[in-house]
Structure 1
């Protein structure tokens, strides 16, 4: 009976660690995606040189 409770406790700890890992990974991926979207929405600078016609 003691072995079963040790195994159950170990499984519960591993499941909690997996959940924490997945949540942190998701937040990191979300921040990366938001940064990429922000960078893609920035308008490029326009050229004000004389050789460029407006």
Structure 2
């Protein structure tokens, strides 16, 4: 294997390892926000779908 290709592969691996924590943090925040939004809107929909009886 050519030394240049080997150095390029090692550089790509090093950069990937350095950037993985930021990607994982970003994905974690996005997943949390999506989950929170879905839970919030589901609660709102459940509130309006089962109204309380009107007292007269």
Number of aligned positions between the proteins: 47
The alpha-carbon deviation at position 6 of structure 1 amounts to: 3.2
SS in structure 2 at match of 1:42: coil
Q: 1:33 aligns with which of 24, 42, 47?
A: 42
- CA-to-aligned-CA distance 1:7-40 (integer Å, 9 cap, x gap): 2120111011001000000000000100000001
Give runs of aligned pairs for residues 1-54 of structure 1, distance below 5 A.
3=11, 4-43=13-52
The runs of at least 4 consecutive aligned structure 1 residues that moved more than 4 Å come to none
The alpha-carbon deviation at position 5 of structure 1 amounts to: 4.2
Scaled by the length of structure 1, what TM-score is found? 0.66
Scaled by the length of structure 2, what TM-score is found? 0.64
The alpha-carbon deviation at position 41 of structure 1 amounts to: 1.2
User: Quick check: which one's helix share is greater?
Assistant: 2
